[in-house]
Amino acid sequence: MQQDNFSAKEALFIQQRYQILNLGRHYKEFSDSYLFCWANLVYPLLHDDASHGKMPHKLYDDQFYIPSSEVNKALELLDKKLTNKAPVDFLEVSKHIYSYEEGKAKLSYICRYLYLQKSLSSDFWDDFLRSAGDNLYAFMVSPFDRNKDIRFV
């Protein structure tokens, strides 16, 4: 994406992102997990259902750095492992979804979203996230702080 040649959709996404983050930080709108996604460009897949009301992210799937297809693939794989009570290792899951080093970072953001959303069981998260190593574990389980984690740059 070139900085000087935005499409109308890219411009609308930037504006929508700013509005959501502003409402979340200053007016306490939206859940922490939803704001985390907008702040970090992770598609908030678990907010697609009607129980969350109208959420504007559905219009912009292709604008998120981590699109719904990647979030869905990770969620399906983690859910399958949990259902089968199979041991789960962070690096193994990362290699299964991504074929490059950047995949670890993307998976850590997906997992932080899923963790903040309280999806899957707490026992699962504890074992799985510890397999990621201390630094990623600390990042993924840290509470979301609207004042520190939402930045307007």
pLDDT value, residue 115: 93
Computed over its alpha carbons, how large is the radius of gyration of the chain?
16
Whole-prediction pTM value?
A: 0.89
pLDDT at 2: 47
For the record, the structure tokens of 101 come out as: 């080093």
63 located within any domain: yes
Q: How many domains does the chain have?
A: 1
pLDDT of residue 55: 80
Q: Which amino acid is at 120?
A: L
- State percent of the chain over pLDDT 70: 95
pLDDT band at 18 (very low <50, low <70, confident <90, very high): very high
92/34: higher pLDDT: 34
How far does CA 96 lie from the centroid of its chain? 18
What's residue 28's pLDDT?
94
**DSSP labels, 66-87:** B-HHHHHHHHHHHHHHHHTT--
Backbone angles phi, psi at 66, to 5 degrees: -115, 100
* Top-confidence residue, 16 or 120: 16
Other Cβ atoms less than 10 A from the Cβ of 59: the count is 12
| Residue 3 resides in a domain | no
In a domain, 70, yes or no: yes
* Per-residue DSSP letter, 106: H
The pLDDT tens digits for 23-75 are 999 999 999 999 999 999 999 999 988 666 678 899 999 999 999 999 999 99
Q: What is the 3-state secondary structure (H, E, C) of 91-126?
A: HHHHHHHCCCCHHHHHHHHHHHHHHHCCCCCHHHHH
The answer, yes or no, to whether residue 107 has pLDDT greater than 60, is yes
Residue type at 66? I
Does residue 55 sit within a domain? yes
Mean of the pLDDT values across residues 72-94? Answer: 90
Can you give the residue range of the structural domain that contains 73?
Answer: 9-145
Contact 37, 44 (CB under 8 A): yes
